[in-house]
Chains A and B, each alone.
Chain A
Amino acid sequence: MNRTRWWNVGAGALALAVAGSCATGGQAPVARLAAPPAPASFDAALVARGAELAAAGNCRGCHTPPGARAYSGGLPLKTPFGTLYTSNITPDPGTGIGRWSEEAFRRAMREGIGRDGEHLYPAFPYDHYTLVTDADDRAIYAYLMTRPPVVSRPPANQLVFPFNVRSAIGAWKKLYFHPGPYEPDPAHDAQWNRGKYLTEGLGHCSGCHSPRNALQAEERGRHMDGGEAEGWHAYALNERSATPDAWTVDAMHAYLRRGWAVDHGVARGPMAGVTRELAQAGDADVRAMSVYLVALMGEAKRAAPAPKAAGDSRAARLYEGACAACHDGTGALPFGGIAFEHSIGIAGEDARNPANVVLYGLPAADGQASPVMPGYAGALSDAELVDLLAYLRGRFSDRPAWNDLAQQVAEARKAGPGIARQSAGGTGTNPARAAEGR
């Protein structure tokens, strides 16, 4: 973050503190249930539907730290204002949401208000979940309340003033939160509308794929222009997308459902967790999201550029020795590496992702076939990695050179593997079927 941005944070914080002092402190509590509802009191079909919807929303991604029990919370979320810890959303009555009524749950989703009436931090993306219908909230509630209760109290949040004052969130909400249900767009058909409802609501895709302002609100005029998540770049998902090959609905559907698509590659970084969850979401729902996303990126016909001549630089020799054996395009995805002329990592607007992948690789999934790549953090110096990425960009894309490449590489090195330690997951398919999803 540069100095100007920090100044903005400071000024924003001051504005928020002033506004917060006149903002409301929240709402009235919703009465506690005497005890968690009996799991058998929920209709099985409703619970199953809730499971699909919770997967579409990737509730697990934030509410389950690595190695912890499902939905038990406590994952640290680093923000410019300090660290937040996600809540336990299992039905444990003491440390989870076991004594939350459906009304309290729905209010949290729709208005960002906790059961006690306090404002919730917008790291919980209620700016998206506000779109969710009563019926879908009911199903998700039924699913969560039938999970095994886990006794686990997350650590206390560590935030700087004024962000540690809940009423300041009230001021933030006045500025940036627009509550209200999804309004269908009559110019589009039902599938597109279902896709938009899920993508912008439960899916909260723009939470990562849009840039955020100094107060961490999504910038309104730059919807899906690309953003950042956990040290990874979240690519633009609108007409600014740098994808070398145009996405089709089938390819997007395959990618979201199983984590990879021919001509596009393998989901990795924070997106790997998203696709692992979407594998459990409703198939028609994921297809609807694909219809909406592909429409959002536009119908532009494009095809990957032809690679340029190899040359004889040191970077060219590094590519030949370390990369080409898997990435020369002769091995079928997902187990062969993507040919770089098809890679958004190389054509993308930001070098952070290829830097992460080359440094830290793709760890294998436990107990199933998965794409793998060794990391080169031990063998490559920063200068060599900069040369290598510049070479790949120049040879395999028709985009201009990245202008902050050295800085991106240094930041990727400094940040360490982080989420790249986790496997991108298996592919749930066999290589003979690799031609699907083109």
Chain B
Amino acid sequence: MTAETWAIARFTVLMALIATAMVLPPAIGIGWLLARRNFPGKTLLETIVSLPLVLPPVASGLLLLWLFGRRSPMGRALDAAGIEIIFTWKAVVIAMMVISFPLVARSVRAGIEQVDRRYEQIAATLGAGPVRILRTITLPLASRGIAAGAVLGFSRALGEFGATIMIAGAIPGQTRTIAVGIYTLVETGREEAAWVLVLISAVLAFGAIYVSNKLIEQGARA
């Protein structure tokens, strides 16, 4: 394995870890909201949350590129504040977050829905507030669903291509991930290096699926 492919693999795993860590809190929030609360516009929220799952990732990427580019109000504000997003590693994380968010949120929701509401009700009759119930009852009991969601989101983030190439590009040593790397290496006639990345991604995918299957299996036994 060359230093270059190794650096690409390390960079991708690091970015996917950051993206997963940043996606978890909002995904848990939305997942809980969808599992436990009824409110007007719930179906709308559900649909919006799932959108990046169905939308072609390049389409999400173009939307992000516009949103963070200098032509949108948000992009102008970021530019004025001296914050550079597009074509930097931050853009890689944002692309991974947007694309993996639906998977994590849906998995969290399923996990929370499986928690017996009676435990939460009992805790409430004993005087626990909603935050405490969430922290000590709901989330611990839903931890397997949350963990499975995190693994799923992480795996999806590892393979992210369409949105990443749009908003982060394929800058060697700066934004080039495994998926983007495979594409650009083949495009530039360095197929051998691309095959090394294919091998690395196969190993990573195998590990992630193995872990998530183990989690599901343990969940079924518990």
Q: Is the pairing of A and B real?
A: no
